[in-house]
A and B are shown apart, each in its own frame.
Chain A
């Protein structure tokens, strides 16, 4: 982001307001095929990544969790199991179509008692300070226009002692892995997009947005800037993905 109010959309520069609209379009166009694509995109490994992140959340029965950019709710479904009937999972997304899809999937899974659904932009979270034990965002932060603002908001709605988790594609640390990953994301991903959803551009955008996302250390610095303490990150699959964690103390 720069002063003239432009920001990245993949590798293109666009006006800030325009980006939010374009990001929405990307997900509107793929919402229904999202789950299938999700598996293809990360070859099923995303399930392992998500399991790992969920462990780091340290959830216990009775906890209140806010999941931002929930999409169809893979993380939220796990949280719902862990916080028990007395806990509450607030499942959110900026995109109403995606949230509807997510709500339907959660109902299919029999998860109804302890989940609520709210349309939320991560940059302006409509909840009071200190409400949640845990706030998470999985594969969503890279789509957010003003990431720092989203981190500030995540910090604000956490109770003292609470923690935030960010699961996001990151920067692989080895040359061969980078190679495999580049082949995959720049050649295969758009091709899948073309074949399955007939929407090559959306998937090219995904690949590009992954590259533009801040690397591990930069993101940790940004978390500290928002006030998080004891920040750390865990590289998964050699840094293809990282889980960042920070506490509000």
Chain B
């Protein structure tokens, strides 16, 4: 999994979260079911493919077919998508280049403009330098794992990562997994204690 997979997962979730709360946007998205919109972030060499559907929109890092339309814009242009435009005005940002089906591009940009997305946060992952700290801040995977696992494990892990030539994203997933395991363990212990306490109390009061 690469950093853009994680970014796309986050962005996908954010868009879908907003859409799930907006009946209208959901219905409009459903009408575009199966259409493929490519969004190229100029200057970063990144393209994300967006596929709307009845339940949710899906974001893909790669697409083997031909998209129905291609939108090309600089990060700055793309951030303009966060502002709604009045009915009758072109929802495609002025500096955005459109090829393919322009009507689809318009419908799609109109939907996106209704959705509140912090584009900067996602785009910065394309444009910013991929320093571990920054990335984890951005994707919000706490450094819990790093702090709580003894140093030797950490060293092993680092060596393993270097040895495998694996880079940050893998580190990231492992962080997330280790972090999850620890939190889960804690939660379960608490739950178990509570259950024991409750059943103990019940036993006494009988």
Report B152-176 CB contacts with A as 1/0, cut-off 8 Å. 0110110010001000001001101
A51 close to B177 (CB less than 8 A): no
Report B1-23 CB contacts with A as 1/0, cut-off 8 Å. 10001101100100000000000
Contacts of B191 in A (CB 8 A): 195
Bound-complex Cα distance A191 to B56 (A):
34
Interface residues of B in 139-157 (CB under 8 A from A): 149, 153-154, 156-157
Contacts of B30 in A (CB 8 A): 110
B130 near A: Cβ within 8 Å?
Answer: no
A176 close to B157 (CB less than 8 A): yes
B124 near A: Cβ within 8 Å?
Answer: no
A37 near B: Cβ within 8 Å?
Answer: no
B58 near A: Cβ within 8 Å?
Answer: yes
- Minimum C-beta distance from B64 to chain A (A): 4
Number of residues on chain A facing chain B (CB within 8 A): 46
Interface size classification for chain B = 35 or more
Interface residues of A in 2-47 (CB under 8 A from B): 40, 43-45, 47
Contact of A176 with B149 at beta-carbon distance under 8 Å, contacts A237-B177, A238-B170 already known: yes
B64 is contacted by which of A60, A86, A175, A184 (Cβ under 8 Å)? A60
What are 23 A-B residue pairs whose CB atoms fall within 8 Å in the complex? A45-B177, A48-B6, A48-B173, A51-B8, A51-B9, A52-B5, A55-B62, A58-B64, A60-B64, A80-B54, A81-B34, A82-B34, A85-B33, A176-B154, A176-B178, A180-B181, A181-B177, A191-B192, A192-B188, A195-B188, A237-B170, A237-B174, A238-B170
Contacts of B53 in A (CB 8 A): 80-82, 111
Bound-complex Cα distance A78 to B33 (A):
12
Bound-complex Cα distance A93 to B170 (A):
32
Closest to A109 in B: B55
Closest to A237 in B: B173
A238 is contacted by which of B12, B64, B173, B181 (Cβ under 8 Å)? B173
